[in-house]
Each structure stands twice: as C-alpha cells, then as structure tokens.
Structure 1
C-alpha cells in the first residue's frame, strides 16, 4: 500500500500545469536533430523546431477537459529541488510492486525500460534528505505528456494530435510491459487506466449465443474476475491481478488459469471497440467489414493496430474450483533435478485432464507449484491427479515443505486464495515447450541440463501448463491470429533474473543481453516453436518467427491497411521495422 506522503508528492508533480516549463528530456544522448525531424524523416522530439508549441499543448489540454498531464519519473521525490526524504523512503519500499505503476500515467513495470534515468536508490547528500541529490533525474524512456483518458473523445483527440504534429504516440494502462511497448521517449501517452466500465450481457451473433462481458480498457484481471463473480459468471483472464485485460492481455493471446477450460483469451473474443490511426471509431467483429482487424487483434499483439477502448468476450456460469499448492527445497542437487525432470514428465498426463491448468516455478534453491486450477473438480480428483508425482517425490526422499489442496465454491474465491501478485524487478524471457520435446528422453535431458545451468547463473523459471489445443479451445484453425505453436505447447517456460535495487544501468543492460541469450538457447532446442511476446525479450533477432510465426505476413498486410504511416509503433510489433527505427536517444526515424 502506498503511503500518503509519497502519494501527495507524486500527484503534486503529475498534475502540475501542462504549460509549465517543459522538463529536460532524456537520459541517453538526447540531442535533437531538428533538420531531420523537420523533414519528417523522424518523429519530432522536445527541442525540435516542429515540436508542438505551448499554445498547441494548451489547446489539446482544453480539448480533453484539462486532463493533459506532464510525464514525471516516480523517483523525482528522491532528487534535486523536489527531494523529499520521507516520500523517497516510502517509494523505495514499494518500487518493486505492481500497484505503484498501475496508478501512474507514464511509468512502467520494467527496470530495464525505466533504465535508471531517475532512480530512487541513487545516493543523495544525507540520510535525512538535507542537501541536494548527487544523481540526475530525467524522463528517459517515459512519455513527455499523457492524457488521462476518460472516454473515446480523449483518445480521438490524442491520436489526431500525434498524427498532426508528427510525434510519437504511446498507450499505457497498468504498465505490465517487459517489452517497453507502453513507454516512449518524447511521446504523447494515452493513459487508459480510468476506463473502468464492465458489464455482462446476453450476446447473439452468427457464431455465438450466450453470456458475454464488455470490458473497458482500464479493467485489470482481478477487477474483471471480481465483477464476473458478482454476476454469477466467470471469464478468462491472466494470472497476475493487475494485468490490463482488454488492451494488452486479449490482443497478446492471453494465457491464464482458465485457459485449459476455455482456451486462450483470444479464443474467447467477440468484438473490439477501436480508435484507428485516422481517428475513426469502429467496432471489429468476425462478421463485419472489419473482420480482418478483429482477426489481427485476437492474438496479433497489443498497441499496434489501433487503440482498444473495450472488448467483448465470452462469459460462462460460475462454478466450484479445486486448487492445490506444494513446495519442496533442494537438499541434494541430483535428486532435486530428477524431481524437476519428473515434474515435466508428469505434465504430459496432467495436461490431458480436461480443464486442469498448473503454474509452477523453481530456482536452484527450491520448487513450488504455485497453483493448480481444476474447474468443477473435487479435492479427491485433484489429489488423485497429483498422486503419481507425489509418489515419485517420496521415492527420491524429497520432503514437502507445504502441500495443500482446497475446493472453493467459486472461481474468484479460488483465485483469491491461490494467486498472488509477483514483484516486478525481473528481466524476463519466454519459450513454448512442446509435448514432443518432453516425450523424447534425450531432448528432455538436454532441456533440464540447460535449466540447471541457468539457475546456477541465478536464473529463475516459471512453467505455465495449459492445454490450448484447437480441440480443447473449441476454435477452428486460423480463426484468430494466435501464434500457431501455442496449440502444441505442453508448458510455457518463463525465465529470467531478479534485479537488485539500484543496479547500475550497465548491469541492467548486461542482464538483458544475458537473458536474451538464454531465450536463444531454448529456441535452439525447440525449432519451429515460439515465444509468448507479452513475456519475451525485445531484441530477439528472430522475433517475427518466434512471436508471430506463419501469421506475420497477413498481420503485416492488415497493419498497413489500418495504419499505413505507422502512427502506432512498439518494440517487436508487426511492422515495427517497416516505418520507423528507434535511435539511441529514443527518437523514431525512417529506415535508411
């Protein structure tokens, strides 16, 4: 929970007048090339001749009802004339938790993309805050201004302003963003967090008749689950409660604890309400004139084809859910890694149980099955499913630290009991592991050996196992733009390294390179496979194949149709290398 001194200080900065002195822009080499920007070879940046005047910003502020906000680094309270020792200490206590970023208009949950341009851990003159900071504080990758969006007119105004003035546009809801897609140097941000409308309706179309949820772009996973519960329903969503549902999770594909029951999020979409690059407001469904855009948004990546205002997705009657968690520690390397290997083998059988999903994690120190989710299941059913693996652990003389199985009367109660919000101080990558690899003992041995090596290098792993095959999800091939390897995936392996507080930028960059190399190691063991772009690295050299696969060319054609000039731009997004190339200072320029 954020302390009041910190919140008071934060809002004092964030709500400062739009026409106050423009903050100095950047951390890394922010010099402006005004001639290049003026020729439209690059997006305009602060200091350029064609950067919007204060009068222009004032007009935009008036258009959006005074909701234009200056971008501010969270850690400004730890620096310079704005230094406040109490507020800085409170910030340090909360800096690694998602809640801080959810309610912020520009800051995102990635140590790498925050890039220490304004760190709360930088030293200042004395412990009690007297004196001035000895470290710099600048916006770095963060948006220069952001609109606190409250409705469609705000989005249209922001889109039109960015297009007219040739400036970068970014879209942020909660800031869950290891790719750095919702931040951008010198950009105008659309902060979608306050679009909190959610309702439940009887939906009827040529392809679906039943309950559905209309979800505003600001709704978070936990909020969506709770609202559905109050209406006696369940909907698909992610594992982390503060992830944004409509704008990022659904368009990214969307895995979660109900995926083995109903498919990925993109398998459940019915329609999207979108603002396109020309400022038009449209609804995209599988059956209307924008069916191509519907297809692209159902798995083809967030923040790139338009600004999603809301999404309509399938909903189902609530039900009881069986859940489980267990933990064991590493007291002997050889038996411990045999147990890890055995767990992957066990997933082959668990994955065939209708509706069962598991999420587990391990390091060199210990293993936890964070939760198992079995909708409509009983305690006896779940214990029976896990019994063979428990017997293997016993044969290896591995003792449980914790082992719990419970049944809750609703999915929301199950979710609230078993799922926790993780810290965000991690550099992350991902790779989909097909069942065929785990079935091959030699290939599995190689995978386990690789994982062991990486955990010896302080790596951590999370294994998310959902059966989202076409038959299980109940969708036809190519009915959406979900990455095809998802359909053969036994588990998604997320992996990375935790980031210590105050880590220097050079080390953050080295971590990113190291984890990207790890992703390549697993890629080499899964040829023709894929990675989940929402949880993968931004500088994967084969990102088109890994993140979009056979869908890429079709997605690129749709991107060019709806956004020919590339107003929407994000790292590793479809077409991101076609219109613009990001420079070292964050400026977007035309490819040479």
Structure 2
C-alpha cells in the first residue's frame, strides 16, 4: 500500500494529554497510555482508514457466518499485514509455536533448544513470556507439543496467527480496528493462565499485553466513594511483581495465589479469588478505575461515575469480553502479618480408611469459623493406592494471625485429629508481611498438561448450616476421591465488603466457603473419541454429584469445566441477563469472543478434533 509508506507510526500516533483521564480516574495515565490513536490522525490516512478506522456499536454479523479464516479469499493480504506491522512500529509477531524447535519441518528446528523447552514445559514462566502459548494446550488443540520424534507434525492449531507485542495503547487500537474491519478473530493474551484457553483461537490476531509492567503507588488516592492508598497496575503486571512492590513500599495488595498470574488481566476481570479474599473480598472488588480499549477502538477511562454500567460489568464479567484493559487502579491495605502452616496425614498402620475420612470430615466442620477468621487454606485430598489416601495442607494461610493466634484457631480441629489417633506435625511460621508469607507458602504453579481437564464448584455456606446437607456435601467429595479423582480445594469466603461498589462477579462467590477443583486424565495415546467420553463422564457424573448438593451455587469461570452445563447460571448467576444486555450494547458484533464468555452461546468453534478446543473456525450459530 503506497499510501502507507514512510514512518507511519509518527503519522498515526498522537500523544494525548491526560487531563481527561485524571478527571475521571483521579490518577494520571501511564506514559504508554498517552500514546493513542485519534480521529484526527486517522483522517490523514485516506484509503487506509478501511483497515484502521474506528467502528461503531452496531451488529453487522449475520447468523450462520464465520470469522474470516486463513485461506479464505477475504483473508487480509500480505500487504495488509505489512501495513499493520508498520502501523504498530514493527510489533507484529508471526506465531511460531513454543515447541517448534522439536520439529524438523520448522525452520526453528534445534534439538538442543527442544530439550530445553521440554525440560521447562510445565514451568508457567515460559508460557507467560511467549506471545501465543497458553498454559493448557488441550484447549488450543495440542497442535505442537514437545516431542522426541522430530518427524511428527506441528501446526499452529488454535494459536493465533499473529500477535501484537503491545507497548502502547495506540497499538491495541490499531489491532482492534484491523481485526474488526477485516472480520477476523481477535484474542487477548496476558499470561495464558485461564483453564479453558480463552487467549487462544485459530485464525486469530492476538493482542499480547504481557509487557505492560508499570506499577505506581498512591498513598492517598481519592475517588467518588474512596479515599486512601491505591495502586495502579499495568495489564502485564504479575502477582509476584506487585507483591514484591508492595513489600518494598509497605502495603498489601489483593491478587492471585499463583506466582505468574497477571493481576490486571483476565484474573481480576473474572472476579479473582485471593489469599486475602476471606478478609477483603475478591480482587475485582478492589478495583476503583480501569483504562480500556472498546470494540470500536476507542480508549476510555471507566469508573463508577464515568461509565457505571461498564464499571459494573468489567469487574467480574469475564476476561476478553467487554474490552481490552490496559491498567487498573485498586485499593490496597496496610502491611499485614501472616502465619503459614503445612502438614499432612495419611491412611496407614495406625490410621484406617474410616479414621482418615473422619479427620477430613472434622476439618470440613470448621470451615465457617476458619473463613470468618479471615484465613485461606489450600489443601489436597487424593487416593494414593487401593483404599489408601492422603491429606495435604499446602498451606494453611492465616492472614492477620500471629503464630499463637493461628494455633488457637486450629486447636479444636487438632484436638479432634488427636482423639481419632491421627498424628500431625505442623510446620508453622509467622511472617510480618504478606509477600514473604505468600512466597514461602505457595509453590510455582505446574502447567501445560495435555492429558488433563479440570472442573470446579463453589459450595455455599448454607451447606454448613444444615447437618444433613453437610453430610451430603462430604459424601459427594469423598465419592469423588474414592472414584480416583483428586480434590484440590480452598477454604475461603469472598463477601463484598461494606461500602464497596457492587460488581458483576459471580454471586455464588458471596456465599461460598469451599472452592473445590477436581480433574480427569488420560494417556498421551488415548484417542480423541475416548478423551471426549472421559470428559463427558467427568462433567456429568463426577461433577454432577457436586451440583446435586449445591444446585443453586456456581463455579469460578477461570478455573472451571469448559463443558459446564448451563454455564450462564454457573459462572454468572443472576447477573447474566444484565451482562448479556451490556454485551449487545458494547460489543454486538462479538469481536471479543471467549469460550464460556457472555454471549458465547451464540457462536461455535468448528473444532478439528471433536473436542471443546479453539482449533477451528469461529462461526455464529
């Protein structure tokens, strides 16, 4: 395109004054947010506006039509992709699968690099640092996994075709406009943590926000209904980074348990449970303002007063749904001490199966007291052999508890264990700040299994207020483990604190005392048909027991079963209808599609392997 010759970025981009944002959010824009695409600069492009021009909020997508796919006549030409690359100042990356070095058919083939990638494959850091890789390749389509057979096949599968390595807002706007105007699929990736692979999509253009790492602390931030300490986080800031910053400056932030989770990305947009949730609520509850690029390409500051409907929807309504967030401002808290404790017990010579389960059941009975004390416990129960089981507390995270206060809290349960003949040896340590406690208590998350699928449930407090229902809940959990499925769970609560603005986070979170996760698995040689059979059995039979004892509850969308029946109720509850209406208002053309996202029931991915993954064409039903 001759009209795009020269230093296009200099023509396209304007450094915007941040007075309007300051007025709306009470905080200045980050420098990268000041670099914006404007109507005035677009007007200088003439015919190029067909690629990069702003859109409107009208629905032009007809039923039965699909997003344009590679190989289609309408797929953008190489000249168009080159124009996009020039517009974003060379930040367009053509996707090379992370494990391409293992395959001789790829120019990147390198046996030594393949070994290095293979050795690190389950480490979340390498997937977060890649523009397209996701941490659960099952939902991308398992298209290019590490292998020792270099002659086997590696394809893009469900990975985006290109990604924009974002370093300013204008690049996001250009990519959004390009994807919308070209009718191609768009995905947003921060770290790729989502259990359902929401940041993958065959034939897509990806927007990679991982490198937006700015952090700014405000000792006395003032908003419409809040005055106090706050922190502004770029979209790419991860949990370990904000927690380290908080320790340095003496504050406490509400963020994820996982070390590499992107706090201001899909985590907070989906609600975000936290080691601090029993004390302060969800991460979404803390948000006071967001900077967002909408589906029409415009950049807006979203607060309770500037865009009250979006402010409600973005905080809990799901990542990749209403816009691309470039930063958030969240309330933070003073330095808080925490006691961290780990221990375990198992069946054995002195602990029968029934005694073991009596110990687990005794623990369940203390969930209300422990959560109401502000603590957060992360534990496992699993089978280790035939009629053999183990319980792992890993860890009990007692926020705002000294060692003596923690011991007093758990003393009743410990006494019950001793009365049963179960001996434990807790390793308990007090830390005077959150970061050190969190860093010692939670291991680096293990990811990238292609032979496993997870599902979850938020069990409500009402299940503890009725003895018969508590027995049924315990029996459902026990049945899961005895059937060979592990239980990974969190004892916590996540109530909306008094005086906090309401949001769209799953109402089931407000009643929960137990966030439980399980998984099903298979071997690398299991056929796709047999995998689907296992997935269906897990969804309907295993997790069906959990739904049966909590029919009005729900599940956490970011750590969920992609096949969840009636996901609208399970992930959004009574908020779904309002969220759907707002989706029609702000993204009627469904530029921001995400599996199990608001409005996704009107679309389908024509998966190539018959599994619920993103390796296929995205089409409106």
TM-score (norm 2): 0.83
* Matching residue of 1:340: 360
CA distance, structure 2, for counterparts of residue 212 and residue 507 of structure 1: 50
Shift of 1:444: 2.8
Give a deviation string over 1:297-330, Cα, whole Å, max 9, x none. 1111111000011111001121222222221123
CA distance, structure 2, for counterparts of residue 102 and residue 502 of structure 1: 27
* Matching residue of 1:240: 258
Q: Is the CA contact 2:275–2:376 (under 8 Å) kept in the aligned structure 1? A: yes
Give a deviation string over 1:113-134, Cα, whole Å, max 9, x none. 133222213x52xxxxxxx51x
Q: Is the CA contact 2:340–2:441 (under 8 Å) kept in the aligned structure 1? A: yes
* Matching residue of 2:183: 166
Q: Is the CA contact 1:463–1:494 (under 8 Å) kept in the aligned structure 2? A: yes
Give a deviation string over 1:446-466, Cα, whole Å, max 9, x none. 333332332234311122122
Moved more, 360-369 or 175-184: 360-369
Give me the CA root mean square deviation.
2.0
Shift of 1:408: 0.7
Shift of 1:503: 6.1
SS in 2 for 1:583: strand
Aligned with residue 171 of structure 2, among 126, 135, 154: 154
Indicate how the Cα distance of structure 1 residues 398 and 38 shifts in structure 2: closer, same or farther if over 3 A, else same.
Answer: closer
Alignment of 1:433-582 (within 5 A): 433-470=459-496, 473-475=497-499, 479-497=502-520, 505-506=528-529, 508-517=531-540, 518-578=542-602, 580-582=603-605
Q: Is the CA contact 1:234–1:317 (under 8 Å) kept in the aligned structure 2? A: yes
Shift of 1:437: 1.4
Q: Is the CA contact 2:607–2:617 (under 8 Å) kept in the aligned structure 1? A: yes
Shift of 1:545: 0.6
* Matching residue of 1:362: 381
CA distance, structure 2, for counterparts of residue 590 and residue 80 of structure 1: 37
* Matching residue of 1:277: 295
Shift of 1:140: 1.0
Give a deviation string over 1:446-495, Cα, whole Å, max 9, x none. 3333323322343111221222224xx2246x811121121111111111
CA distance, structure 1, for counterparts of residue 552 and residue 342 of structure 2: 33
* Matching residue of 1:352: 372
* Matching residue of 2:54: none
CA distance, structure 1, for counterparts of residue 604 and residue 314 of structure 2: 23
Alignment of 1:177-256 (within 5 A): 177-201=194-218, 202-256=220-274
CA distance, structure 2, for counterparts of residue 560 and residue 38 of structure 1: 14
Unaligned runs of 5+ residues in structure 1 are 1-36, 125-131
* Matching residue of 1:91: 117
1:590 aligns with 2:607: no
Shift of 1:53: 0.6
* Matching residue of 1:107: 133
Shift of 1:197: 0.5
Q: Is the CA contact 1:258–1:373 (under 8 Å) kept in the aligned structure 2? A: no
* Matching residue of 1:13: none
CA distance, structure 1, for counterparts of residue 590 and residue 141 of structure 2: 25
* Matching residue of 2:437: 414
Q: Is the CA contact 2:179–2:186 (under 8 Å) kept in the aligned structure 1? A: yes
CA distance, structure 2, for counterparts of residue 229 and residue 326 of structure 1: 27
CA distance, structure 1, for counterparts of residue 477 and residue 211 of structure 2: 41
* Matching residue of 1:27: none
Q: Is the CA contact 1:270–1:313 (under 8 Å) kept in the aligned structure 2? A: yes
Alignment of 1:28-39 (within 5 A): none
Shift of 1:511: 4.3
Spell out structure 1 runs of 4+ moving beyond 6 A. Answer: 37-40
CA distance, structure 2, for counterparts of residue 145 and residue 50 of structure 1: 17
CA distance, structure 2, for counterparts of residue 91 and residue 303 of structure 1: 28
Shift of 1:138: 0.7
SS in 2 for 1:141: coil
Shift of 1:429: 0.9
Shift of 1:510: 4.2
Give a deviation string over 1:193-247, Cα, whole Å, max 9, x none. 0000111113112200011110111011111111111111111001101111111
Moved more, 191-200 or 483-492: 483-492
CA distance, structure 2, for counterparts of residue 500 and residue 93 of structure 1: 19
Indicate how the Cα distance of structure 1 residues 111 and 441 shifts in structure 2: closer, same or farther if over 3 A, else same.
Answer: farther
1:259 aligns with 2:285: no
The number of equivalent residue pairs is 539
